[in-house]
Structure 1
Amino acid sequence: MKKIHVLVLKAFFKPFIVTFFIVMFVLLMLFLFKYIDDLIGKGFEWYVILELLWYASAAQISMAMPLAMLLSSIMTFGNLGESYELVAIKAAGISLKKAMMPLIILVGLISVGSFFFSDYILPITNLKMGSLLYDVRNKKADFLIKDGIFNNSIPGYSIRAQNKSKDGTVLYNLIIYQHSNISRGTNVLLAKEGVMYNSRDNNYMILKLKDGVRYEETTAGNRSYNPRQQFTRYYFKQTEQKFDMSTFQMKRTDEDLFKSHSMMLNLKQLEYYTDSTTKMLDSIRGTIFNEIKGNYKLFNTYQARQNKPLKKDDSLSTFNHSFAEVIPADKRIVALNNSLTDIRYIKEVLDMKAKSDKDFDLSIVRYILEYHKKFTLAVSCLLLFSIGAPLGAIIRKGGLGLPVVMAIIFFLIYHIISTIAEKSAKEGDIGPIMGTWTAIIVLTPLAIFLIYKAATDSALFDIENYKLAANKFINRLKTHYNKYFKKKNR
């Protein structure tokens, strides 16, 4: 019995490790393809890219783990079935359930570990990756001068070089226009050659210019022509021009700004934010009438001045009176203007409160969704294993052919259902709890059906059985048709 358990565990462990890293590699490539435009041409250090990929790989475990569990389970039992090892196990009097018991325990431990990972490690990973990705996407592209084209990347300057060296550090035939918001004058610098290098702190770019001239023209404070305006011309053999490059450096944003996002909270924090947001939403809803009740009048100004408030008995008859009968002619314009003012104020208050109500309600839904997603990661590993293991035992095909196709099909079904349900929950069509557990509820009967078919040695995917059943059905139709045709001829 122990040898069988070791055999099953070895047969599962190797495909699980291989498929997990393959899936992680594919997901990382998709991540790079998604953000490739934000990474190229910005001069990041190698450790920044490596740090981003490290956090991204940890964040992708929530999707890679269920898919690897499904694919490895199909491959494991497909290989055992194809090599008739499952038949030998059953011939020895050992049921499939007993042979799988250590594997079921291992999968259970992996699922429990994935729950703790999603509760303790994943929020920190999402926080680190989210803040770093925000800084990466907001960083400006590196300063690059192309031949014969003006570059306006540096604020206040336009730089043009006719050509440059192969390494891009030496520029030839330079023209530099300086645009100053303080002075209305013109500042132009021409140089035959310029050597470009950075300061030690990389906050400044320094151009060491050779053989050039600098033109400065200042006005008396207006742009009109002034014959007494000053014009200065400087010739130089060598000089340096310093440019502020601090805007091109990546600045790390404070991570505390991202901590309130639902994906960056654990279970206790999600409970706290859900309760606090719910209280804020209730307080907003409770103050709506108090803000508009001063402008929401059940009696008109004329009756208020006459000290004749409306009574319950005659309110309907009063409202049925015409506008001319209730308000005198000299008061009508004032009454209309006051009413329009009250209506505008009430509308603005209700619009503002409706927007705040929608934002708070969406935040609560996201907190609840993320709260339940901590549990669905562990449950999805168990569910997809329950689908993959009996499916592999039924199809009896190993390798990376049919098992991969079947795994991708079932995982896409699970992922599409969960994505649609989560989106519907955010839009308010269904509840957030139902939006999180819909995919698991839909696929659980399928897992039970496949487990039953695998336990009873059903040839569910045997094409020959379906051909025999189809032939029997066709023969029955032919028999009934012949009997009916003979009766009709009589």
Structure 2
Amino acid sequence: MKTIYKLILKSYLGPMIMTFFIVMFVLMMNFVWRYIDELVGKGLSAGIIIELMAYAMANMIPLGLPLATLLAAIMTMGNLGENYELLAMKSAGMSLPRIMRPLLVVVGIIAVGSFFVSNNLVPYANKKMYSILYDIRQQKQTIEFQDGLFFNGIDNMSIRVGRQDPETHLLRDVLIYDNREVNGNMNTIVADSGYIRLSDDKKFLLVTLFHGETYEQTRNSQWYTKSSLRHHTFDMQDQRISMDGFAMERSNSDQFSNSQTKNINELQHDIDSLEVEVNSVTGRSYEPLLKEQIFVKDSSVLAMVDSLRVDKRGYGRMYAIDSLKQLPVREKERVWDQARTLAKNSRNMFSFDESMSKDALNQLYRSKVEWHRKTSLPVSIIIFFLIGAPLGAIIRKGGLGMPIVISVIFFVIYYIISITGEKLAKEGSWDAVYGMWLSTFILAPIAVYLTYKATNDSSLLDTDWYAGRIKVLREKLHLNGVFKGVKWSKLKFKRKNEQSKSQPNGNGEHIE
């Protein structure tokens, strides 16, 4: 490998790794901010939180990798241009495509790797992440008492603590309402002090109370007037209450299966199956509705009409519309009831089949969107590099200032276009090919144009070039304004002299 290529690769790989972790950190902060309410107060272990963060980070790689590629390309070429290294390479006879050749190889490898990440790692990470989030939502909050407030985190129990010692965790002035009995019996416990905590496996509530009273209201599923009340005191009382939902119970991740948890082969299989199902459901719904329900003459109605009314010339059948006009009121009501029942049955059949058809269509659209998302990611990474590298060569500014601004602008444009196309594709308004590849179709010409401009040493984004042009334009406008001002003053002075010569004096004579 040439020494110059080693220099270029070294200049690119460092910013690429740095920007990738910066972008992933920003995306992780967004994830934490989104799910912070579900994570706090559950007593989760560090291992569960780290596992959830790892799966979430794997899920965000397809979103962060294009942005990191764009930012690293702008920083690398901007640093080379700012330090005049890019100018030295061009002076040595190297064109910009030749300078970018080793970077294109590296970006190509990253793009191919991103496909396998999106196809294999991301579905597995999504499945595990959904499973952990579901388990966290099912888990109840830890038991934390606040002075003077009721704690209702336990089903059918309310606990109030007057004061809690922060060092010994001894509870003072304890009041417990226990409604766990199925038959309606209720227990009320009042104690001077005690301890209430979960067992180590979080399956039992350990209650130890001192110097208290117990009030038991016994109803045995009867009315309130037939209930009885019992009361007794105690010096110490121990209870071991079985608890559910406080321990972290891991569920099987295979049950969380959707379009985001499948690879491209599974998505293709689902697409083929769903297309057959959609065609079957649609045909099963619309064809009988049209042939057997709507455009059909009910034989029972026609038979009833024919039996009541015949043609004067002896023909056995008349049309129902002509006959209904001459039927008695009660017979018209019978015909109307039968027609209304037939219409309701048709509507119910159509609504059921239509809901099944809509569900199958939604699954089909989502599967197609995920299929094209996986295939469009490598192309997006290459396009972002072809945008970033020429931009860096044009602006000749390194660091994190100007590159971040330009990268964010292009990424926001890309994200808005992608989200819009994805939404239209999921709704079925557009085909998935147009919806998921829309951003690529828009950004690809921009990448080609910027590459062409950078190869020809264009001053497209050079602020000094624009400042010089504006300065020259101002000078031209200023000079034109001065010359016009001089000419106008001379013309005005000449007209004034002519008017003064043509005016008459006091004797009526003109002054020459």
Conservation of the 8 A alpha-carbon contact between 1:211 and 1:236 = yes
Deviation of residue 52 (structure 1)?
Answer: 0.5
SS in 1 for 2:245: helix
Matched letter for residue 425 of structure 2: A
Alignment of 1:285-300 (within 5 A): 285-289=282-286, 292=289, 294-296=292-294, 298-300=296-298
- 1:170–1:340: structure 2 CA closer, same or farther, 3 Å change rule? same
Conservation of the 8 A alpha-carbon contact between 2:185 and 2:220 = no
Unaligned runs of 5+ residues in structure 1 are: 310-316
Stretch deviating more after TM superposition (207-216 or 21-30)? 207-216
Query: Which residue of 1 is the match for residue 123 of structure 2?
Result: 123
Q: Does 1:263 align with 2:260?
A: yes
SS in 2 for 1:216: strand
Aligned partners of 2:390, 2:170: CA distance in 1, in Å?
68
Conservation of the 8 A alpha-carbon contact between 1:274 and 1:368 = yes
Conservation of the 8 A alpha-carbon contact between 1:390 and 1:450 = yes
Q: Does 1:359 align with 2:391?
A: no
Conservation of the 8 A alpha-carbon contact between 2:285 and 2:354 = no
Q: Spell out, residue by residue over 1:364-404, the C-alpha distance to the aligned partner (whole angstroms, 9 max, x if none).
A: 11111111111111111100000000000000000111111
Matched letter for residue 197 of structure 2: Y
- 1:163–1:331: structure 2 CA closer, same or farther, 3 Å change rule? same
Stretch deviating more after TM superposition (376-385 or 140-149)? 140-149
- 1:207–1:391: structure 2 CA closer, same or farther, 3 Å change rule? same
- Of structures 1 and 2, the larger Rg is shown by 2
SS in 2 for 1:451: helix
Stretch deviating more after TM superposition (351-360 or 66-75)? 351-360
SS in 2 for 1:35: helix
Q: Would you say how many aligned residue pairs link Structure 1 and Structure 2?
A: 477
Deviation of residue 476 (structure 1)?
Answer: 8.3
Q: Does 1:217 align with 2:217?
A: yes
SS in 2 for 1:140: coil
Conservation of the 8 A alpha-carbon contact between 1:395 and 1:461 = yes
Matched letter for residue 231 of structure 2: R
Q: 1:251 aligns with which of 249, 252, 256?
A: 249
- TM-score normalized by structure 1? 0.90
Query: Which residue of 2 is the match for residue 150 of structure 1?
Result: 150
Q: Does 1:6 align with 2:6?
A: yes
Q: Root-mean-square deviation (CA), in Å?
A: 2.9
- 1:328–1:225: structure 2 CA closer, same or farther, 3 Å change rule? closer
Conservation of the 8 A alpha-carbon contact between 1:5 and 1:100 = no
Stretch deviating more after TM superposition (154-163 or 41-50)? 154-163
Deviation of residue 423 (structure 1)?
Answer: 0.8
Query: Which residue of 2 is the match for residue 110 of structure 1?
Result: 110
Deviation of residue 171 (structure 1)?
Answer: 1.1
Q: Spell out, residue by residue over 1:54-96, the C-alpha distance to the aligned partner (whole angstroms, 9 max, x if none).
A: 1111111111111110000000000000011011101111222
Conservation of the 8 A alpha-carbon contact between 2:131 and 2:256 = yes
Q: Does 1:449 align with 2:444?
A: no
Query: Which residue of 2 is the match for residue 393 of structure 1?
Result: 393
Alignment of 1:414-429 (within 5 A): 414-429=414-429
SS in 2 for 1:288: helix
SS in 2 for 1:147: coil
Aligned partners of 2:235, 2:131: CA distance in 1, in Å?
47
Q: Does 1:303 align with 2:289?
A: no
Aligned partners of 2:15, 2:372: CA distance in 1, in Å?
29
Query: Which residue of 2 is the match for residue 66 of structure 1?
Result: 66
Matched letter for residue 123 of structure 1: P
- Among the aligned pairs, what percent are the same residue? 36
- 1:101–1:189: structure 2 CA closer, same or farther, 3 Å change rule? same
Matched letter for residue 274 of structure 2: T
Stretch deviating more after TM superposition (19-28 or 387-396)? 19-28
Conservation of the 8 A alpha-carbon contact between 1:296 and 1:342 = no
Alignment of 1:198-213 (within 5 A): 198-213=198-213
- TM-score normalized by structure 2? 0.86
Unaligned runs of 5+ residues in structure 2 are: 311-317, 493-512
